[in-house]
Amino acid sequence: MPDSNLEHLPRPVHFGRPRGLGRLCGAFGVLLFLGACEEQNVYAPPPPPTVTVAQPLIQDVTEYLEFSGTTVAYARVEIPARVPGVLQAVHFEIGSEVLKGDLLFTIDPLEYEASVQAAEAELVRAQAVLSEAEKTLGRARTLIQRGNISQASLDEAEADYLSAEAEVLVREANLTSARIDLGYTQVTAPLSGRVGRNLVDVGNLVGQGSATVLTDITVYDPIHVYFEVNERDLLRAIERIRSEMGEGGSTRDQANFPIEVGLTTEEGYPHIGVTDFTESQVDPDTGTLQVRGVLQNPGEQPALLPGLFARVRVPIAQRAEMPLVSENAVGFDQSGRYLLVVNDEGIVEKRGVTLGQLVDGLRVIERGIDPGDRVVVTGVQRAREGIAVQAQEIDMSSLLLSAHGGSASEGGRRGDGQRAAGDGAAPDAAND
């Protein structure tokens, strides 16, 4: 019988082939393979980013000051009933064009015709009395020479004549007044323009106690636009104008300078006019100077109506050979506005710039770049100062055309000195 203590003895160790040896060799082989692969991989830097560059478009530009204004009718007059009476007829179509002197309303004239007749009769009677007084005075002068009447009788005859003569003048004035009142029963247009609606219907009593407004007439052509010029822009404009006129210029030479006007729904500034009035001093409460312009506004359906908001710009200087770039190329950081430029070695450089106004969708660069610089216009997010890039060149004028939807042939026909037609801001406003 085996001894039970033998169960506690250690088991014999077998020195045969381990079971996991194959797995260990396989893993070791994989490590050797991976190590061999890593030795063959060499780091290759990514290719330089591709950006689009263009040289600035060089052209003459006009410097503008821009304002907000309001259109106001050239003239507006209310047509009252100047005599009391019953409105008898309306002789116009609402909203139609009328000429000066056209008949608009008729007030019942019967009462005034009777007044004219009565005044005429009173005048005839006064003239008859005057004729009799004249004859009496003539006889008295003859008799006084013969000594048949006294001086008192002659004086009385002269007084009667003068009184009769004065009475004739009074009756003539009464007749004139009656005829004027009769004329007021025919209400006519005091000026040419567009008539409004009739504010009183036929059959109503008008002009009783106070003048009753019957309608109004508004003159649309020409039309005024009022705008406020702040002190800074005013001084800048005066400085530019004086520099162009020289020392011999006067303030009179600054009157009637051109303005361009556009409505909120219009592109650019299609309406051209001139200033015709400027306040004599700057308002100390607002720091602005009110200016009025006048513009032609023809047609039965004029483009400009009174009371509309208007964009106004005033040319103050002509600047030659200014660089223009796409506004998408302009960046901004804590140092201000800048452009990214690719140099001859393909390295990106950062240029701080001063911006001017918009011209046909391109931004005028006051200073900071040269005409030959290659400005990054697309891919600005991929370009950073100091890195190398692959530059693809385009023509800056193509960006100008794309802003207006024009063709390349149209771009080729654009000449220097073309005025800004976009909704640009004043140079200082762009730099804020």
Question: Mean pLDDT per segment of 10 residues, for the chain of length 432 residues?
Answer: 48 50 51 51 79 92 90 95 95 94 96 96 96 92 86 91 96 97 96 94 92 94 95 84 60 70 92 92 92 91 92 88 91 90 91 88 90 90 88 86 45 36 37 37
Let me know if residue 14 belongs to a domain.
no
Distance linking the first and last C-alpha atoms of the chain: 110
Q: Which CATH number fits the domain that encloses residue 190?
A: 2.40.50.100
Give the list of residues 6+ apart from residue 311 with CB closer than 8 angstroms, or none.
Answer: 66, 67, 68, 69, 261, 262, 263, 264, 269, 423
Report the interhelical angle of 151-184 vs 110-146 (nearest 10°). 160
Are residues 235 and 344 both part of a single domain? yes
Let me know if residue 142 belongs to a domain.
yes
Are residues 113 and 102 both part of a single domain? no
Q: Which CATH number fits the domain that encloses residue 342?
A: 2.40.30.170
Other beta carbons within 10 angstroms of residue 112's beta carbon come to: 20
Residue 358: name the closest of 240, 274, 267 by CA. Answer: 267
Let me know if residue 30 belongs to a domain.
no
Give the list of residues 6+ apart from residue 42 with CB closer than 8 angstroms, or none.
Answer: none
**Rounded-to-integer distance, Cα 107 and Cα 186, Å:** 7
Are residues 367 and 233 both part of a single domain? yes
- Position 255 scores a pLDDT of 61
Going 138 to 144 to 150 to 151, the CA torsion angle's sign is positive
Other beta carbons within 10 angstroms of residue 305's beta carbon come to: 14
Are residues 278 and 398 both part of a single domain? yes
Q: Are 166 and 183 in contact (CB under 8 A)?
A: no
Q: Which CATH number fits the domain that encloses residue 178?
A: 1.10.287.470
Helix and strand element counts for the chain (H, E): 7, 20
Let me know if residue 44 belongs to a domain.
no
Beta bridge partners of 341: 349, 375
Are residues 168 and 285 both part of a single domain? no
For the chain, the domain total comes to 3
Beta bridge partners of 350: 340
- Position 145 scores a pLDDT of 87
Other beta carbons within 10 angstroms of residue 217's beta carbon come to: 24
Q: Which residue has the tokens 């020392």?
A: 247
Q: Which tokens sit at 117? A: 């007749």
Let me know if residue 245 belongs to a domain.
yes
Domain span holding position 120: 109-184
Are residues 427 and 333 both part of a single domain? yes
Are residues 195 and 150 both part of a single domain? no
Going 137 to 139 to 143 to 145, the CA torsion angle's sign is positive
Q: Are 184 and 107 in contact (CB under 8 A)?
A: yes
Give the list of residues 6+ apart from residue 104 with CB closer than 8 angstroms, or none.
Answer: 79, 90, 91, 92, 98, 187, 188, 189, 195, 214, 215
Q: What DSSP string runs through 51-116? A: EEEEPPEEEEEEEEEEEEEEEEEEEEEEEEE-S-EEEEEE-S-TT-EE-TT-EEEEE--HHHHHHH
Are residues 94 and 196 both part of a single domain? yes
Let me know if residue 162 belongs to a domain.
yes
Are residues 129 and 103 both part of a single domain? no
Q: Which tokens sit at 36? A: 């061999």
- Position 29 scores a pLDDT of 53
DSSP type of residue 197: -
Q: Which tokens sit at 194? A: 């567009």
Let me know if residue 16 belongs to a domain.
no
**Rounded-to-integer distance, Cα 130 and Cα 133, Å:** 5
AA identity, residue 67 = F
- Position 364 scores a pLDDT of 92
Give the list of residues 6+ apart from residue 368 with CB closer than 8 angstroms, or none.
Answer: 338, 339, 351, 352, 353, 354
Helix, strand, or coil here: 421? coil
Q: Which tokens sit at 324? A: 């223009």
Q: Which tokens sit at 144? A: 């006084």
Are residues 264 and 277 both part of a single domain? yes
Are residues 232 and 117 both part of a single domain? no
Cα dihedral 163→168→171→176 (10° resolution): -140
- Three-state SS sequence of 67-85: EEEEEEEEEEEEEEECCCE
Let me know if residue 230 belongs to a domain.
yes
Are residues 102 and 119 both part of a single domain? no
DSSP type of residue 210: S
